[in-house]
Amino acid sequence: MSAAMMWVVSPNSEVCNQLGFLETTRTRDSSNKKGLFRLKNVGRKHRCYSVFNKVGSRRTSVARRVVANPSGNLAISSEQLVYDVVLKQAALVKKQMRSREEDVDVKPEIVLPGNLGLLNEAYDRCGEVCAEYAKTFYLGTLLMTPERRKAIWAIYVWCRRTDELVDGPNASHITPKALDRWESRLEDLFNGRPFDMLDAALSDTVSKFPVDIQPFKDMIDGMRMDLRKSRYENFDELYLYCYYVAGTVGLMSVPIMGIAPGSNAPTESVYNAALALGIANQLTNILRDVGEDARRGRVYLPQDELAQAGLSDEDIFAMKVTDKWRFFMKKQIHRARTFFDQAEEGVTQLSSASRWPVWASLLLYRQILDEIEANDYNNFTKRAYVSKPKKIVALPVAYAKSLVPPSSRKLASN
């Protein structure tokens, strides 16, 4: 499973507003093999449009995010599509903060069947699942306030159940229709109609916190991708997949973890950091599991970058470490570390009680990259993992980092 409770770099929010990136204007472009989307009715004048980045006060060209495909239509990169979701979620959090200042409830309590005891039992069960499958993270959640702790457990369990649909013991029987039914259940629980006890915990959570349904739906889309896709032509396609299966968790969890009162960082930049950690962790999963995935006939590596390194799927299936492979892996590891670096900038902006588990996740997952290097880049037959002694050492380091207050400087979004 993609590491739960994980936290991408983003284009400017003004780009979204100026180009009108609405859901209704996105359609798949069958002539575009890069997994992009095209915009309907976008004028030529937007091709050269550029803006000032509000967060970093740096000039950003839209050409990096919006490109013309062979048919002449403008296409949105995966990064832009993801950032649209970031903006929406950040807006929800800002709205809640304003509402609290005005003493107005953002969302009413949902009406659940049974009594409060049953709801507490549902949360307790979520905690048990989290403790069983994510021990280190579970310990970190115990530092959170009771409400936040229970909410994070509920989100973790939903993500795990979703992942198990395509990665669990019954994965071979899962069909697109089964995922459609799972999405219908998701919509029901967001509307206060949970199907079972575990759904009830999440339904209560989303009624209390400004959590948007879109990241949850996007995660289900990631599961759909796993059913139909086993190759990724370029990093743009892989980026979108990493967002679907891991970056989404960051968007789900930031409203629960909360942003520190002393943070001067824009809300969007904190979400970007959360998203970056999710991307980094999933890229690390992919690099760690190359051999395991190859044995299942899957290659989660950019095909164009493999070709540039003089490699192909056949080289991966041969499972031999060569100089070409080492060179390729060094570049992939560097990219993952870059996302970890971006994530670190935002962890300190979280509320003090939420920082430790996030820092622990970041430090432990980052060390997997070190272990791949220590194995001489043999991720075909050797599984890179962080030993217990190293985990024990990392936890107090993560705790010490969690005590560092938010920086007074503003985060850069790029």
| Region for residue 310 given its phi and psi (left: phi exceeds 0; alpha: psi -120 to 50; beta: otherwise) | left
Asked if 341 and 363 count as a contact pair (C-beta separation under 8 A), the reply is no
Angle (deg, nearest 10), helices 197-208 and 116-133: 100
Asked if 343 and 328 count as a contact pair (C-beta separation under 8 A), the reply is no
Q: For the residues 179-191, what does the mean pLDDT come to?
A: 96
Token output for 200: 């009830």
pLDDT-derived band at 97, boundaries 50, 70, 90: low
What are 102-121's pLDDT values in tens digits? 443 444 454 445 556 788 99
Average pLDDT of the chain to the nearest whole number: 78
Q: Which residue's entry shows tokens 């190293």?
A: 390
Those residues with Cβ within 8 angstroms of residue 126's Cβ, 6 or more apart along the chain or in another chain? 150, 153, 154, 156, 157, 198, 201
Asked if 346 and 9 count as a contact pair (C-beta separation under 8 A), the reply is no
Token output for 383: 């599984």
Superfamily of domain 75-99+113-403: Farnesyl Diphosphate Synthase (1.10.600.10)
Domain boundaries, the chain: 75-99+113-403
Is pLDDT at 411 greater than 90 in this prediction? no
| Maximum separation of any 2 CA atoms in the chain, in Å | 63
- For residue 61, what is the enclosing H or E element? strand 59-61
What are 290-332's pLDDT values in tens digits? 999 999 999 999 999 999 999 999 999 999 999 999 999 999 9
Asked if 46 and 87 count as a contact pair (C-beta separation under 8 A), the reply is no
Asked if 16 and 77 count as a contact pair (C-beta separation under 8 A), the reply is no
- For residue 401, what is the enclosing H or E element? helix 388-402
8 Cα distance to chain centroid = 9
3-state secondary structure of 74: strand
Percent share of the chain, pLDDT over 90:
57
Separation of alpha carbons 64 and 60, rounded Å = 8
Pick from 1, 286, 284: nearest CA to 164: 1
Residues making up the chain, counted from first to last: 414
65-69, 96-100, 354-358: which has the minimum mean pLDDT? 65-69
